[in-house]
């Protein structure tokens, strides 16, 4: 164990921040950390938009489902899949890369690149005693978020990240048992064992929600996740992602 | 600055490892670190397969484009998008979640979840003085890799990660200038400025490839990336991803 792994294992999403701004130098370290992540074929197929304009933050908070911590935090990032810059590179070289941009592979590359960069930013921020919360909620209204941030063709905002000085900490939610997430040499597809493991995990999540400090509830993991996924969300994305030039 | 950020900023992909195995305790820390990452709606929509079987590693190395370090390393991980476990949860709860699994949103969630977990694993490994290299090459032949690892419906291997004690280090490749990746409040879409910035970056990449220790070459960033993307790869993925139950 070391301080880096301690930082990683100590993660919990922070959903309440003080109004203290993050010093410029720390922001710079966070962005540099994001850029240091691995990137597929050196493409660096992502961009980061830092949102500080209070009106834009407020608007994004509304669009993302009225989560106050989207507007009230030390800083707000939006991570985007970005092939627009690579299109510029191809224009300079007079090459045609549209098939790659429109391919499933291209979409996967850009999402993975953006997510690796974002997680570096998250760990860097947490190592500076800042808290973070990923905001998938921007995908509730990605068309409006894209307009607000003026992202052009071939640039797709993927998720936000609120960063700041924590006003309060939540408890850590217990993760799935390691033996159900981690497989050796082959995917363990024993349905009886999986079901038994999930029911056991349900007990620990039920206990967690019953006894945690804030917003106690009666909820299991299989109950929560299947309810979330049953209420299918964001089906417009299929069309919007295509409009932005991906997954054609 | 702190040791965590130093670790992050010191990253370079390692493509040559000693044969020394990674101690069990360190592996455990790496997997636990992966699981500690944020996850969309608590879904944890990914799985990790640890590959130690020398025959399987050798086969994956061949499938991934004959990269020797895929077979010769301390440990090899494969990160997968995984909705099979969530399908089990839905079965327990007798809910229908197939629309969510098949949606663009579902695909994005699973890729992002897997990538955040993977980057935590990477940073944890590097903090233990191990080296890592992401292996997108498994997507050259994902059907065969899936068969080898016996991944069922709703599980899609995304990328591998070789981990181990570095035999040699590469130099760090300079990243894109911060001002072209990082935008404030709106996406900066000034083509002239972007082109000028890219040409300047081309100079520094040309200098890097000319003067680095190993495999010197004459190559700019716009030249390299546009050539890579012009030779469109992995177009079969669109069909295979659907076969596996995603993006329908």
pLDDT confidence tier of residue B233, bands split at 50, 70 and 90: confident
For residue A213, the model assigns a pLDDT of 82
| Domain CATH for B151 | 3.40.109.10
Q: What is the ipTM of this complex?
A: 0.98
* Arithmetic mean of pLDDT over chain B: 96
pLDDT tens-digit readout, B179-197: 999 999 999 999 999 999 9
Nearest by CB to A44, from B8, B136, B176: name it. Answer: B176
Q: How many CB pairs under 8 A join A and B?
A: 360
For residue A150, the model assigns a pLDDT of 98
Percent helix, strand, coil in chain B, to 5, is 50, 15, 35
One domain, residues A166 and A182: no
Instruction: Give the C-alpha separation, B37 to A205, whole Å.
Output: 17
Nearest to A5 by CA among B6, B42, B131, B26: B26
B166 inside domain: yes
CA of B140: which chain A residue's CA is closest?
Answer: A105
One domain, residues A59 and A145: yes
Triad B135, B141, B143: Cα angle to 5°? 120
A248 inside domain: no
CB–CB contact A184 B11 (8 Å): no
The tally of domains found in chain A comes to 2
One domain, residues A67 and A186: no
A232 inside domain: no
CB–CB contact B155 A42 (8 Å): no
- Chain A positions in Cβ-Cβ contact with residue B49 (cut-off 8 Å): 182-187
Residue % of chain A over a pLDDT of 90: 94
Domain that holds residue A18: 3-170+237-243
One domain, residues A44 and A155: yes
A231 inside domain: no
Residue-by-residue DSSP string for B66-88: S-HHHHSSSEEEEEEEE-HHHHH
One domain, residues A94 and A140: yes
pLDDT confidence tier of residue A117, bands split at 50, 70 and 90: very high
B136 inside domain: yes
One domain, residues A150 and A68: yes
Residue B19 in this model has a pLDDT that exceeds 90: no
For residue B169, the model assigns a pLDDT of 83
CA of B19, closest CA in chain A: separation in Å?
19
pLDDT confidence tier of residue A209, bands split at 50, 70 and 90: very high
Q: What is the mean pLDDT of residues B44-48?
A: 98
Instruction: Give the C-alpha separation, B129 to A124, whole Å.
Output: 18
pLDDT tens-digit readout, A53-99: 999 999 999 999 999 999 999 999 999 999 999 999 999 999 999 99
User: Three-state DSSP class for A22?
Assistant: coil
């Amino acid at each position: 164990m070391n301080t880096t792994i301690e930082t990683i294992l100590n993660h919990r999403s922070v959903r309440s921040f003080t109004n203290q701004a993050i010093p410029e130098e720390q922001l710079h370290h966070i962005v540099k950390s994001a850029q240091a992540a691995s990137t597929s074929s050196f493409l660096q197929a992502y961009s980061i938009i830092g949102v500080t304009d209070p009106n834009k933050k407020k608007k994004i908070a509304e669009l993302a489902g009225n989560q106050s911590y989207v507007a009230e935090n030390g800083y707000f990032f939006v991570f985007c899949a970005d092939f627009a810059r690579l299109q510029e590179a191809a224009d300079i070289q007079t090459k045609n890369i549209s098939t790659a941009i429109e391919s499933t592979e291209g979409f996967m590359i850009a999402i993975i690149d953006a997510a690796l960069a974002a997680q570096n930013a998250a760990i860097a921020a947490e190592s500076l005693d800042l808290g973070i919360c990923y905001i998938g909620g921007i995908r509730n209204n990605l068309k409006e978020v894209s307009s607000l941030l003026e992202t052009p063709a071939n640039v797709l905002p993927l998720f936000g990240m609120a960063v700041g000085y924590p006003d309060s900490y939540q408890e850590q939610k217990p993760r799935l048992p390691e033996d159900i997430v981690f497989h050796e040499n082959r995917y363990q597809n024993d349905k009886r064992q999986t079901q038994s493991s999930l029911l056991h995990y349900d007990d620990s999540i039920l206990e967690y929600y019953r006894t945690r400090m804030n917003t106690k509830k009666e909820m299991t993991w299989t109950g929560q996740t299947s309810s979330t996924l049953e209420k299918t969300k964001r089906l417009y994305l299929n069309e919007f992602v295509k409009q932005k030039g991906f997954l054609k």
